[in-house]
Amino acid sequence: MAVGGTPLFGMIEEKMNWLSQRQRVISQNIANADTPNYSARDLEKIDFRETLRRDAHQMTLSKTSDSHLSSPREQDSFRTGETRKVYETAPAGNAIVLEEQMLKLNETAGDYQMMTGLYKKYLNFHQIALGRGAR
């Protein structure tokens, strides 16, 4: 089994994809801060219990040749929804609070750094287990 095929790597990959898409959604919120009647959007949180249940029963295609294409994962697989808590609304009907969006952007960047650190640590554990030592 390949190192990337373990459940933990799959969950880290899914979380990193979610964080990337969340950063894109928050960036769109910031870009539309002056658009009339625009309300902030955000992604629904990931439920890892559901992910484990789904992955436990999922069949995957195997590549028998390097010339075969791997099964692509859907890029926009996370649902977006409007933010329910609106702290203030502009006279034009816009409900974007830039400070709130910047806090979410910072939180997302910190979570992404944490996931890359976790990925590196887990990869080092595999290298130690294979006798290649830690770097």
Residue 111 · residue 117 · CB < 8 Å? no
| pLDDT attached to residue 135 | 54
Q: Considering only CA atoms, which of 123, 135, 124, 127 is closest in space to residue 4? A: 123
- pLDDT given at position 75: 42
Q: Where are the domains of the chain?
A: 3-45+82-129
pLDDT digits (tens, 9 = 90+) for 19-30: 999 999 999 999
Q: Give pLDDT, residue 19.
A: 95
DSSP characters over 98-131: HHHHHHHHHHHHHHHHHHHHHHHHHHHHHHHHTT
Residue 18 has pLDDT above 70, yes or no: yes
Determine the pLDDT at residue 87.
59
SS3 for 82? strand
* Rounded percentage of the chain residues whose pLDDT exceeds 70: 65
Read off the pLDDT of each residue in 32-42 and give the average, rounded to a whole number. 88
pLDDT at 127: 86
Average pLDDT estimate for 56-63: 60
Residue 74: per-residue pLDDT: 41
Nearest CA to 4 out of 100, 70, 65 is that of 70
Q: Say if residue 88's pLDDT is above 70.
A: no
